[in-house]
Amino acid sequence: MKAGILAVTPAFFRVWRRNSQVYVALLKFNILPSLAEPVLFITVFGLGIGSYITEIEGVPYIEFVAAGILGSAAIMQATFECTYGSFFRMSIQGTFESIISTPVSASEVGLGEISWGASRGFVNSSLVLIILFFLGILDRWQVMFIPLLMFVAAFNFAAIAVLVTSRIAQMEYFRFYFAGFILPAQFLCGTFFPVSRFPEAVQVIAWTIPFTSVIDIARTLMLGRPADFALFLEGAWVFISTLIFTELAVRSMHKRLVR
Amino acid sequence: MILPMVVAAKSLNKRYRDVVAVAALDFEVEKGQCYGLVGPNGAGKTTTMKMVYCIVTPTSGSLRVFDMEVSLQPRKIKARLGVVPQENNLDPDLTVCQNLMTHASYFGLSRDVARSRCQELLGFVQLSERSDSRVPDISGGMKRRLVLARSLINNPDLLILDEPTTGLDPQVRHLIWDRLLELKDRGITLLLTTHYMEEAQKLCDRVLIMDQANAVDMGSPAGLVRKHVPPYVLELRVERRLIQKIQERFRHLGHQMSGQNVYFYGNSQDEFEEIVAAYPDTERIMRPASLEDVFLKLTGREIRQ
């Protein structure tokens, strides 16, 4: 049995559709709670702390931090969906086993989950984008590329999450993942202040995490800064790492499900 | 021309690291047959079934389903299968009908086809009135019937049932038996595991007895009974202190022990007369031998871990 992205057919979308159906059935539980964190971030960092730090890198703090809040909304949503959500479907509900007993393959379950997690991150960050728009923070046309960028960022984190999910025996291991990777990623990657403020060693770590590049690209677009070659490299890193993690996650999920 | 078998296993093996789950298994299931796998827990029945529906990969040997090798064409094989797994893995967030519709989508069925199949199948398992109920709100028996309906959504040629009636009340069990026999009449091949020998005897044309990863024997239920045990059984429930005495006194009669029960086997009921005369007040049952006696004889009466 072949595994990996190349063995995937469009049947992966059936897994996406199954998840979206459950999402719609539980809509009232899904939309509002996932907006709580970004709204809190806007209030605390943008308006609260923003009243002390009036300017950073030459722009009002709220405009600076907007890219971080958007990115955070995308990756956190994707991460929750593809850690606890996927694990629950995999190990507790037996959903994956029921799916792979049909013509849908284990690799397709893997990609279906990742693309679903990416979609949730996309929806969540898009809602935050609308809130930011009404707060009058967004006024450049480049902003229209943000949702696509956030989709890729969410895809990246969904893939890493599925990779982790497919490897762990019990849910409690996610605590290590959140404490050791997600929380640092959320705060180290230039989300709330520039990466350049860190000691060199921390900067190196931060730049290896693709999320730092995502935030930097988003900020460049939102603030209308000129793009340079470094930005292109950052985009390439986000894209390539997403591909790599997706391939690893899909193969690992196959290994977990087909024994 | 010889028709290809629906399932054909040749020296099939499955190992999980150091544990041998299935060893050198050979069996064949003909089209239209109901084939039963029986054996104690851990005998390798579920692993065998999972290899047939392509979610466990054989370590070695050959396993062909619809004349296709499971490791090479799982997608084509699974398109023609229906699976009732041991655990009900229904979607608790969806309704009864949505569960069927979603499952239909995995087979690529159009919504219209799925909707009509859904109605037809809910009628078949007597769940039409609960179509819009959420899964947590229906009873265990209903869930099992829903899983059966779900397994039929793609009109399968082979239906795989892993302990279809375990833990169900007699009414639901009879309903499921009834439906399985109806499906068999329609020409669907059935492959099932069960712990109920009554169920195996009622439904199966062929039974494979497994124990500790190996096949112990195979045959029709009646044939297996004829082969392994005399036609009559006398069950005697006696006090512990008497057991040894009885054993010694009736050494010449074939017997087995299990807890406080002594089972005597005979070719006619007359053979038991001297026992009954010696212990007239002892609780006893005289009955024809069944598949259960064969099962216990071949796999032992002691409980194993």
Say if residue B58's pLDDT is above 90.
yes
Domain around B175: 7-219
* Per-residue pLDDT tens over the stretch B59-94: 999 999 999 999 999 999 999 999 999 999 999 999
Does the beta-carbon distance from B75 to A103 stay under 8 Å? yes
User: Do residues B206 and B243 share a domain?
Assistant: no
Distance from C-alpha of A131 to C-alpha of A129, rounded to nearest angstrom: 5
Q: Does residue B214 form part of some domain? A: yes
Nearest by CB to residue B93, choosing from A26, A105, A106, is A26
User: Do residues B171 and B203 share a domain?
Assistant: yes
| Structure confidence at residue B305 as a pLDDT band (50, 70, 90) | very low
Query: Which DSSP category does A181 fall into?
Result: I
Q: Does residue B206 form part of some domain? A: yes
User: Do residues B102 and B26 share a domain?
Assistant: yes
Q: How far is CA B32 from CA B1, B3, B190, in A?
A: 17, 12, 7
Does the beta-carbon distance from A102 to B78 stay under 8 Å? yes
Q: Is A98 on the interface with B (CB under 8 A)?
A: yes
Assembly ipTM:
0.89
User: Do residues B15 and B147 share a domain?
Assistant: yes
Say if residue A237's pLDDT is above 90.
yes
Q: Does residue B151 form part of some domain? A: yes
Q: State the average pLDDT over residues B147-153.
A: 96
Q: How many domains does chain B have?
A: 2
Find the closest chain A residue to B15 by CA distance. Answer: A259
pTM of the full predicted structure? Answer: 0.91
Distance from C-alpha of B156 to C-alpha of B178, rounded to nearest angstrom: 18
Q: Show the tokens assigned to B190.
A: 């059935």
Identity at B268, one-letter amino acid code: S
Looking up residue B31, the CATH number of its domain turns out to be 3.40.50.300
Say if residue B259's pLDDT is above 80.
no
Find the closest chain A residue to B93 by CA distance. Answer: A22
User: Do residues B213 and B282 share a domain?
Assistant: no
pLDDT at B177: 95
Q: Which residues of B touch A18 (CB under 8 A)?
A: 91, 102, 105-106
Q: Which residues of B touch A29 (CB under 8 A)?
A: none
Domain extent listing, chain A? 5-257
Say if residue B301's pLDDT is above 70.
no
| Structure confidence at residue B116 as a pLDDT band (50, 70, 90) | very high
User: Do residues B88 and B17 share a domain?
Assistant: yes
**Alpha-carbon B113 to chain mean position:** 31
Cβ(A86)–Cβ(A162) below 8 Å: yes
* Per-residue pLDDT tens over the stretch B279-289: 888 888 889 99
Looking up residue B235, the CATH number of its domain turns out to be 3.30.70
